[in-house]
Amino acid sequence: MRLLMLGGTEFAGRAVVEAALGRGWEVTVFHRGRHAAPDGVRLLLGDRTAVDGLAALDEDPGTWDVVVDTWSSAPRAVRDTARLLRDRAGRYVYVSSRSVYTWAPPAGYDEEAPVVEGASPDAGPTDYARDKRGGELAAEEAFGADRSLLVRSGLLLGPYENVGRLPWWLDRMARGGPVLAPGPRDLPLQYVDVRDQAEWILDAAERGLAGPYNLTSPSGHATMGELLEACVRVTGGPAELRWTAPEVILDAGVEPWTQLPVWVPPHSDLHDTLHAADVSRAVASGLRCRPVAETVADTWAWLREIGGTAPQRPDRNAKGLDPEVEARVLAAASGV
Query: Domain map of the chain by residue range?
Result: 2-153, 162-190+220-276+291-334
pLDDT of the residue at 314? 83
Low-confidence ranges of the chain (pLDDT < 70): 335-336
Domain covering 2-153 assigned CATH 3.40.50.720 in the classification: yes
Longest CA pairwise span in the chain (Å): 69
pLDDT digits (tens, 9 = 90+) for 142-192: 999 999 999 999 999 999 999 999 999 999 999 999 999 999 999 999 999
pLDDT of the residue at 317? 85
At 265, give phi and psi (nearest 5°). -65, 145
Tell me the C-alpha to C-alpha distance, in Å, between residue 248 and each of 81, 172, 323. Answer: 48, 20, 17
pLDDT of the residue at 335? 60
pLDDT digits (tens, 9 = 90+) for 123-145: 999 999 999 999 999 999 999 99
Does residue 184 have a cis peptide bond before it, meaning omega lies within 30 degrees of 0? yes
Q: Which residues pair with 179 in a beta bridge?
A: 241
CA distance 145 to 138: 11
pLDDT of the residue at 334? 78
Does 162-190+220-276+291-334 match 2-153 at the fold level? no
Beta pairing class for 26-31 and 42-45 = parallel
pLDDT of the residue at 336? 46
In CATH terms, 162-190+220-276+291-334 corresponds, of 3.30.70, 3.90.25, 3.40.50, 3.30.450, to 3.90.25
